[in-house]
Amino acid sequence: MPRRKFRHTQRFESSGDSTFQEYLLNQPTQQTTRSELLRLIRGGEDTYLELKVKLSNPERIAQGIVALANTDGGTIIFGVNDQLRIEGVSNPEWVQSELARICREEIVPPLVPMIDTMAFDSGKRIVALDIDGKKRPYRTKDGRFYLRIGAEKREVSRDELSGWLDEIRPLGFENIPLQTVTEDDFDDALLWSFASGFDDNAPNLALYNTSDFLRKDLLLAVGNVDDFFPTVAAVLLFGKDERVAELLPRSNVTVARFSGSNGSAQLIEAIEVKGNMHSQYETIMAFIKRYTDLGKERPKRKLELVTDSVVQARANYHFYSISEAIINALIHRDLALREIRTRINIYDNAIEFINPRRTNGFNPPASRAIRYGITQRLNPQIAAIFTRREYGVNAPHGGLPMILRQSNRFSGRKPEIYLAGDEFKLKIWAA
């Protein structure tokens, strides 16, 4: 059934928060006729229409607005009882004002609704709130997502939301709140080590608790005093290793050593790296060091020895280039892509980093622009924290341009960049 609109007024974006409410209350509208309104109400509630006697519970109203905005828009009419009779509202001006406040303060991102009042010959007045969600997904300020199915709303599951975001908002995956995560799921040592790097008075850290620190200081959680919903970014950065593996299995990284120079070569060893991003970085770096030598200066030429081993002599790579490549793979991966995982393949003469990276919708996706560091960050919050000295990784600076420049100087061969389908590939050659 197509959406039934209550009215057909033109919608404008508010010029600023100071005039938001004033604008909504003073816009002239083309009123729907009384007969059209009665016909709409008599049809009863459906996916696009909700009827309320009065505005008495702002939290439930916010949930209803979110459900309509996330579905396909719709209308909430105030002043109609369960028997579909018009009772009117006693103070329509206050209802309008409160609805404008709810849309601005109780919903993320804020909605710009249209609010109309209609008077009847009897003197009764109703208020209609028309919603057209253009920036889905919407959530309540406590981090909950809702959909409207028929005349009922229901909360969106994590799997549903994940699949939904795959299509409509691939850049927002790190901001998804996880409702099954508790304070006990976080690595306190890692979290407070990060916090202490910014606080010279370490004993004050005892005054913090995990939920307050993640929600208020790092903006990595939503909810109020009673509710605590950490985001995907919070779990990836500071979660306990075993819980990260359970909650976000697609964040696992496969690292493999091959005997040969391409993917058809013989596999020597492969591991699946799980846990938070700090643990992942350390584990990946240790695995690469097991099979290669990392240095800051180009090694002197060595005599090649004849050996029967299937694995050739250890190759040499620029330390900071490899470190930055690992970091880039971790912080810039598109975790909304379910079927593609981050892989790191070590060959006799090169290391290849393969990352899920959706190319459509990015500006610009071209490899030439990427070489100059002109990319759209997928996970800006993760990147901001992971690259801080206080996080403990000691990340180098310079990004992909540094990798390309220093690796070329070190090995005498330019790294290769590929954009194929939904994968970004970087190959760094050994010296």
Condensed to tens digits (0 to 9), the pLDDT of residues 246-288 reads 999 999 999 999 998 876 779 999 999 999 999 999 999 999 9
Between strands 315-318 and 292-295, the pairing is: parallel
Helices 277-291 and 319-331, axial angle in degrees (round to 10) = 140
CATH code for residues 249-429: 3.30.565.60
* pLDDT confidence band for 375 (50 / 70 / 90): low
Topology adopted by domain 17-156: 3.30.950
Measured CA to CA, the distance from residue 5 to residue 131 in angstroms comes to: 9
Helices 17-26 and 92-105, axial angle in degrees (round to 10) = 140
User: Please, where in the chain does CATH 3.30.950.30 lie?
Assistant: 17-156
Condensed to tens digits (0 to 9), the pLDDT of residues 77-104 reads 999 998 888 899 989 999 999 999 999 8
Condensed to tens digits (0 to 9), the pLDDT of residues 92-139 reads 999 999 999 999 889 988 888 788 888 877 888 999 898 887 777 888
| Side-chain-facing half-sphere of 165: CA atoms under 13 Å | 23
Measured CA to CA, the distance from residue 153 to residue 396 in angstroms comes to: 48
Closest CA to 281 of 240, 328, 315: 328
Closest CA to 68 of 118, 111, 100, 36: 111
Q: What are the strands, taking DSSP E only, across 120-245?
A: 125-131, 139-140, 146-149, 152-155, 221-222, 229-230
Give φ, ψ of 326 to 5 degrees: -65, -45
Give residue 374's pLDDT: 58
Contacts 24+ apart (CB under 8 A), 222-227: 222/108, 222/139, 222/141, 222/142, 222/143, 222/177, 223/142, 223/143, 223/177, 224/141, 224/142, 227/142, 227/143
Cα 20 to the center of its chain, rounded Å = 27
Closest CA to 137 of 71, 75, 70: 70
* pLDDT confidence band for 8 (50 / 70 / 90): very low
Is pLDDT of 199 > 90?
Answer: no
Give residue 100's pLDDT: 92
Is pLDDT of 163 > 50?
Answer: yes
* pLDDT confidence band for 404 (50 / 70 / 90): very high
Average pLDDT score over residue span 51-71: 91
User: Please, where in the chain does CATH 3.30.565.60 lie?
Assistant: 249-429
Measured CA to CA, the distance from residue 114 to residue 93 in angstroms comes to: 14
Measured CA to CA, the distance from residue 48 to residue 61 in angstroms comes to: 15
Give residue 344's pLDDT: 97
Q: Is 179 left (phi over 0), alpha (psi -120 to 50) or beta?
A: alpha
What H or E segment, with its residue span, contains residue 420? strand 416-420
Give φ, ψ of 364 to 5 degrees: -100, 155
What H or E segment, with its residue span, contains residue 242? helix 241-247
Condensed to tens digits (0 to 9), the pLDDT of residues 229-249 reads 899 999 999 999 999 999 999
